[in-house]
């Protein structure tokens, strides 16, 4: 029997066991009604990039859950500080960071670490923009793809960065070993426990985003910063980033 039409773009999902996130169970009486806005970043420029293919799988799942996902293409993004903040790709990335309510970071692991392409994207998103923190209080899910055996170096590093960016990094994560074996000739991820984990991570991210997006300002409110002006916060943060 064929799968229901709503699963046409998710052929590896078992409709009997997946549940769309119920926003009514997670939001308060005055919860936002718009679709959760999720920015997806990936860390490779290869023609057949498995981090990009994973990001596209994530995009499909987010859309099925009723979110509004956007996948940023890092091609053309300059190295940090090689160009000014008015560079078109930097402007695009920063606007998406401000627009988003949550993010997914997907990086290959290279030499035991996230890629420079992944780090460059994160480095272009400032900790502060005129006293406003564009990532503070937003949710984050981290994933990595591996060329060989399973490793967690990249996701562990991205967790540190997420904390540094004052993001709410969800507990679950994904690491796909031998990623080249997990995707078919159609560039879709094959059914496997690794695919199921990605489904889990996306579902958890959506839940945490519903739980926190209307409360993020309160959750990250700090005494030490409430006694500072926006100008003082901006000056202090910018001094630390020198």
- Residues in the chain, total: 242
| pLDDT tens-digit readout, 91-118 | 999 999 999 999 999 999 999 999 999 9
Lowest-pLDDT choice from 53-57, 65-69, 199-203, 235-239: 235-239
| pLDDT tens-digit readout, 6-39 | 888 899 888 888 888 888 777 777 788 899 999 9
Angle (CA) 145-149-154 rounded to 5° is: 40
For 32-240, CATH number out of 3.90.1170.20, 3.40.50.360, 3.40.710.10, 3.10.110.10 equals: 3.40.50.360
Cβ–Cβ under 8 Å, residues 93 and 83? no
Tokens of 181: 């074996």
pLDDT on residue 133: 80
Cβ–Cβ under 8 Å, residues 128 and 231? no
Going by pLDDT thresholds of 50, 70 and 90, the confidence category of residue 230 is low
pLDDT on residue 2: 47
Whether the model clears a pTM of 0.95, i.e. scores above it, the answer is no
Domain ranges across the chain: 32-240
Task: Measure the CA–CA gap between 32 and 27, rounded to whole angstroms.
Answer: 8
Q: How many CB atoms lie within 10 A of CB 178?
A: 14
Going by pLDDT thresholds of 50, 70 and 90, the confidence category of residue 1 is very low
Q: How many CB atoms lie within 10 A of CB 38?
A: 27
């Amino acid at each position: 029997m064929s799968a229901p039409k709503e699963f046409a773009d998710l052929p590896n999902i078992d409709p009997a066991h997946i549940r769309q996130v119920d926003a009514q169970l997670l939001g308060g009486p005055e919860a936002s009604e718009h679709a959760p806005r999720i920015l997806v970043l990936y860390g490779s420029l290869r023609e057949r990039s498995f981090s990009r293919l994973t990001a596209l799988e994530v995009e499909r799942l987010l859309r099925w859950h009723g979110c509004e996902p956007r996948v940023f293409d890092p091609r053309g993004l300059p190295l940090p500080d090689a160009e000014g903040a008015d560079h078109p790709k930097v402007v695009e990335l920063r606007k998406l960071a401000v627009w988003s309510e949550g993010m997914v970071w997907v990086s290959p692991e290279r030499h035991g670490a996230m890629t420079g392409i992944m780090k460059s994207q994160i480095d272009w998103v400032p900790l502060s923009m005129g006293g406003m923190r564009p990532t503070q209080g937003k949710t984050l899910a981290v994933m990595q793809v591996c060329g060989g055996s399973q490793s967690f170096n990249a996701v562990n590093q991205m967790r540190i960065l997420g904390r540094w960016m004052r993001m709410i990094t969800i507990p679950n994560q994904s690491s796909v070993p031998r990623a080249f074996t997990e995707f078919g000739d159609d560039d879709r991820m094959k059914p496997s426990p690794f695919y199921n984990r990605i489904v889990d991570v996306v579902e958890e991210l959506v839940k945490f985003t519903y739980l926190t997006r209307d409360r993020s300002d309160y959750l990250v409110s700090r005494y030490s910063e409430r006694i500072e002006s926006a100008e003082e916060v901006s000056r202090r943060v910018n001094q630390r980033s020198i």
